[in-house]
Amino acid sequence: MKNIVSKGYAGKDEEGKLALWNFERRAVGDNDILIEIKFSGICHSDIHTIKGHWGKQQYPQVPGHEIAGIVTAIGKNVTQFKIGDKAGVGCMVNSCMQCESCKNGEEHHCETTGMTGTYGSPEKLSPTGITQGGYSNNIVVTEHFAIKIPKNMDLEFAAPLLCAGITTYSPLMKVKMKKGDKIGVVGIGGLGHMAVKLAVSKGAEVYAFTTSPSKVNDIKGFGAKEVIVVNSAEDLKPWKGKLDFMISTVPYAYEMSSYIDCVKPYGFFTQVGQPINGELMINNFNMIFNRVNFNASLIGGIPETQEVMDYCAEHKIYPQIEIIKAEEINDAWKKVVNKEARYRYVIDAATF
Ligand SMILES: [Zn+2]
Ligand SMILES: [Zn+2]
């Protein structure tokens, strides 16, 4: 089998300006499928990674881990996909598949090799030496790490579910959210707006915390019971101890304890946004008085990613997206950083 010819938008250095790049992917192996990408979402993680905010990178590197397209070739051992199927790829493309976590469908917690990220991870078979992501016209992936996209789900809406969807769905499921629970969402961007929609769909009362007054009407439209525009920690005081669970999607360090203090004692607070160098700011004074359980969370396993895809298709839960051309990616990145995205940019892969 021959290597697959690809083109996409790659970062060349930490400046983080993307440009068209022609490259090759590995040949389609016996357990692989080839997906012709139709749409690819833009996640804040793409920006952090390419700019080296989470560690040194190899370049050129094509980001993108919200990938949706059509299967155009399959390896001889593939059983779950056939040519013409809709398929997606999220944030990982491999793991050891032998350890307890992998066997339990929590491949993102792989205990031996760790998960192989969809872009920027060393990969022996890749002609470029690292995995290359979804700002591109195709991708080769082991079938286990591909997600089936139901026929009734449009590919442009499916793409953001593969990171923004699963990253917010998984922690909401882990706290066994039930009807009537008071759920707080901090940061209403690509991830946060999905957290609102998913929690509302499960019957929760959702309280959205944003620093952008211009988002209030949209967020109410997503079903939030109340939108709190936060200018300072003072605005959070009336919410002390009121919420059952809170999820924060903010991808930068901010003083979190006054938000965590909005959760009732012994409740849970999950951080899914990953700041620069992974460094958070938590003042412990509030924390000792509430005993809120703090944890952080990364995406979800493949079975749960399939679950959120099927759930959103069944319940018609769609991300609010803006479709852009490849040449608009650099501009879109600036807008994501400036909190101007409403709420997920999705690249039309036909424009690469
Ligand atoms: Zn992401
Ligand atoms: Zn493993």
Q: Which ligand is nearest to the CA of 99?
A: 2
Q: Which ligand is nearest to the CA of 111?
A: 2
Buried-exposed string 220-239: b where 16+ CB fall within 10 A, e elsewhere = eebbbeebbebeeeeebeeb
pLDDT of the residue at 286: 84
Rounded to the nearest whole angstrom, what is the distance from the C-alpha of residue 117 to the centroid of ligand 2? 13
Q: Which ligand is nearest to the CA of 63?
A: 1
Two structure tokens written together for 138: 């195709």
Q: Does residue 173 contact residue 106 with C-beta atoms inside 8 Å?
A: no
Q: Which ligand is nearest to the CA of 44?
A: 1
Smallest CA-to-CA distance from 295 within 279, 278, 275, 271 is with: 271
Q: In what order do the strands lie in the sheet with 205-210?
A: 226-229, 205-210, 182-186, 243-248, 263-271, 293-296
Rounded to the nearest whole angstrom, what is the distance from the C-alpha of residue 28 to the centroid of ligand 2? 23
pLDDT of the residue at 1: 76
Q: Which ligand is nearest to the CA of 92?
A: 1
Rounded to the nearest whole angstrom, what is the distance from the C-alpha of residue 288 to the centroid of ligand 2? 36
Q: Does residue 33 contact residue 141 with C-beta atoms inside 8 Å?
A: yes
pLDDT of the residue at 102: 98
Query: Could you report how far apart the first and last alpha carbons of the chain are, in Å?
Result: 25
Rounded to the nearest whole angstrom, what is the distance from the C-alpha of residue 238 to the centroid of ligand 2? 44
Rounded to the nearest whole angstrom, what is the distance from the C-alpha of residue 89 to the centroid of ligand 1? 11
Rounded to the nearest whole angstrom, what is the distance from the C-alpha of residue 301 to the centroid of ligand 2? 11
Beta carbons within 8 Å of 217's beta carbon, 6+ residues apart: none
Rounded to the nearest whole angstrom, what is the distance from the C-alpha of residue 287 to the centroid of ligand 2? 34
Rounded to the nearest whole angstrom, what is the distance from the C-alpha of residue 1 to the centroid of ligand 1? 31
Show the DSSP H helices in the chain as ranges: 44-50, 100-103, 155-160, 166-174, 190-201, 216-221, 257-260, 284-288, 302-315, 329-337
Rounded to the nearest whole angstrom, what is the distance from the C-alpha of residue 98 to the centroid of ligand 2? 5
Rounded to the nearest whole angstrom, what is the distance from the C-alpha of residue 205 to the centroid of ligand 2? 37
Rounded to the nearest whole angstrom, what is the distance from the C-alpha of residue 132 to the centroid of ligand 2? 21
pLDDT of the residue at 350: 98
The per-residue pLDDT string of the chain (352 residues; one tens digit each, 9 = 90 and over) reads 799 999 999 999 999 999 999 999 999 999 999 999 999 999 999 999 999 999 999 999 999 999 999 999 999 999 999 999 999 999 999 999 999 999 999 999 999 999 999 999 999 999 999 999 999 999 999 999 999 999 999 999 999 999 999 999 999 999 999 999 999 999 999 999 999 999 999 999 999 999 999 999 999 999 999 999 999 999 999 999 999 999 999 999 999 999 999 999 999 999 999 999 999 999 998 889 999 999 999 999 999 999 999 999 999 999 999 999 999 999 999 999 999 999 999 999 999 9
Q: Which ligand is nearest to the CA of 96?
A: 2
Rounded to the nearest whole angstrom, what is the distance from the C-alpha of residue 94 to the centroid of ligand 2? 9
Provide the 8-state DSSP code for 61: B
Two structure tokens written together for 169: 């769905």
Rounded to the nearest whole angstrom, what is the distance from the C-alpha of residue 303 to the centroid of ligand 1? 18
Distance between CA atoms of residues 63 and 169, nearest Å: 23
Provide the 8-state DSSP code for 255: B
* Residue 334 burial (CB count, 10 A): 10
Peptide bond into 343 cis (omega under 30): yes
pLDDT of the residue at 299: 97
Q: What CA–CA distances, in Å, run from 6 to 133, 137, 157, 307, 310?
A: 11, 6, 23, 30, 29
Rounded to the nearest whole angstrom, what is the distance from the C-alpha of residue 303 to the centroid of ligand 2? 15
